[in-house]
Copies of this chain bind each other. A is one copy, B any other.
Amino acid sequence: MSIESLIRAIPDFPLPGILFRDITPLLKDAKGFRGAIDLFVERYKGRGIGHVVGIEARGYMLGAPLAYGIGAGFIPVRKPGKLPYSKLSESYALEYGTNSLEIHADALGDGDRVVVIDDLLATGGTAAATRRLLERLGAKIESFAFLIELEALKGREALPGAEVISFIKY
């Protein structure tokens, strides 16, 4: 079964007019899950990536196994109020609403080479906010990785000059 066939489209979630791409059928399918993670592992192994940065919360479900698979550390970028230590914050406009993201101030340092991962690239707002957080820490973003890209929303344009990869495009 293909990875794409395990992604479910849910109309009007979380708001009317949004067609939500639900990856939970893929995650629960052992072969599908392994296949999806291995797409990222094959792409990033051997590139000297020290850390994988996952965006809350579906980015953790893909990013933590990617980090494990390539022998990197894992860094969570979190919604406000979840991180307990000294931290940085950046706000962003989402496809539906606004919010901010936080990272621990000691999560990364100058020149650390990272991949940023989330399940889906929509407008690119969360990815761009994550980029600002990482640049404030001095990290070098090798790539932005997404399982799914909604091409009509032009999220790539929010990440100028960066490598952006995705495996399923709608």
Contacts and interface: CB of A to CB of B under 8 A. Distances in A.
Interface in A79-112: 81-85, 104, 107-108
Nearest to A20: B84
Contacts of A65: 64-65, 67-69
Interface string A1-25: 0000000101001100000101010
A61 B74 contact: yes
Contacts of A83: 24
This chain: copies in complex: 2
A129 B79 CA distance: 23
Q: Looking at chain A, what size class is its interface with the partner chain?
A: 35 or more
Contacts of A67: 30, 33, 65
Contacts of A54: 61
A74 B61 CA distance: 8
Interface of A: 8, 10, 13-14, 20, 22, 24, 27-30, 32-34, 37, 50-51, 54, 56-57, 60-62, 64-65, 67-69, 71-76, 78, 81-85, 104, 107-108
| Top 3 closest pairs, chain A to chain B, by CB | A65-B68, A13-B84, A28-B73
